[in-house]
């Protein structure tokens, strides 16, 4: 295991840059060089480094090097960038897998999965958005579904999705629906930062957990 991988592994265990430097016997500057390489290789996110430092703030053992790194990351707003990435990946995954499940159940074509699996209100809303689109070649009507629309489709076809979702998410419909609507609310705050309070660290961790449970865990 190379130094970038070692540094990333320690971040995943909750270490701050100064703690990693002490653990590996190198300077904090070297640690950050390794971490930026690890970030570029996809082993860790900058927000992981930021939140590790934030968790130590106010307690014992916080050092100036970590505080300076934290301040720099805050100015870069890295947590919002990583949160947007999680939300986009989660929405794309739901969009693809919802369609796959419905096609397998009701068949392809407008008279199949679209008419039988998608609530009429959602179909009408998507058709209106497509009609009002200024695109020269409007996308397929399903592409106009919102995150909330996808949740509504899952709700309408719960017995079907209960058999296909990851087991840990399918055992409690009320909890899953509540969690997905919370993701939608956080998504709106990220997309419309002027209208509402910015997402919190707790929001970030919640979205990350939902991402891990619905994107990384295979559907059945």
Percent of the chain with pLDDT over 90: 43
Domain span(s) for CATH 1.10.10 in the chain: 3-76
Radius of gyration of the chain, Cα coordinates, nearest whole angstrom: 21
For the domain made up of 3-76, give the CATH fold.
Arc Repressor Mutant, subunit A (1.10.10)
DSSP annotation of 217 reads: S
Distance between CA atoms of residues 115 and 3, nearest Å: 54
How far does CA 114 lie from the centroid of its chain?
Answer: 26
Mean pLDDT of the chain: 87
Distance between CA atoms of residues 56 and 14, nearest Å: 10
pLDDT of residue 113: 96
DSSP string for residues in 107-157: -SSIIIIIHHHS-HHHHHHHHHHHHH---SSPPPGGGG--HHHHHHHHHHT
Q: Are 157 and 102 in contact (CB under 8 A)?
A: yes
pLDDT of residue 195: 67
Q: What is the pLDDT of residues 39-95, one digit of tens each?
A: 777 888 888 888 888 787 765 556 888 888 877 776 655 566 778 888 989 999 999
Q: Are 99 and 142 in contact (CB under 8 A)?
A: yes
Distance between CA atoms of residues 26 and 36, nearest Å: 15
**Burial of 45: CB neighbours in 10 Å, binned 0-12, 13-18, 19+:** buried
**Distances in whole angstroms, Cα of residue 132 to Cα of each of 1, 32, 128, 129, 188:** 54, 48, 6, 5, 22
Distance between CA atoms of residues 97 and 112, nearest Å: 16
Residue by residue, pLDDT tens for the chain (220 residues) are 688 899 989 999 989 899 999 999 998 888 888 888 887 778 888 888 888 887 877 655 568 888 888 777 766 555 667 788 889 899 999 999 999 999 999 999 878 999 999 999 999 999 999 888 877 777 889 999 999 999 999 999 999 999 999 999 999 999 999 999 999 999 988 887 666 677 877 888 899 889 989 998 999 8
């Amino acid at each position: 295991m190379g130094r970038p991988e070692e540094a990333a592994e320690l971040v995943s265990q909750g270490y701050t840059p100064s703690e990693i430097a002490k653990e590996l016997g190198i300077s904090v500057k070297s640690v950050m060089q390794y971490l930026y390489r690890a970030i570029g290789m996809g082993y860790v996110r900058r927000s992981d480094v930021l939140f590790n430092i934030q968790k130590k703030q106010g307690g014992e053992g916080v050092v100036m090097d970590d505080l300076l790194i934290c301040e720099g990351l805050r100015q870069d707003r890295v947590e919002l960038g990583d949160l947007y990435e999680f939300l986009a990946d989660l929405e794309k995954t739901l969009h693809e897998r919802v369609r796959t499940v419905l096609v397998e159940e009701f068949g392809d074509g407008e008279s199949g999965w679209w008419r039988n699996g998608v609530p009429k209100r959602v179909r009408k809303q998507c058709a209106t958005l497509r009609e009002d689109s200024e695109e020269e070649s409007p996308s397929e009507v399903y592409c106009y579904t919102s995150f909330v629309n996808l949740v509504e489709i899952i709700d309408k076809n719960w017995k079907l999705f209960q058999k296909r979702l990851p087991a840990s998410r399918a055992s409690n419909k009320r909890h899953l629906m509540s969690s997905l609507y919370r993701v939608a609310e956080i998504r709106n705050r990220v997309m419309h930062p002027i209208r509402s309070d910015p997402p919190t660290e707790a929001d970030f961790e919640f979205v990350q957990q939902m991402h891990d449970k619905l994107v990384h865990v295979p559907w059945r």
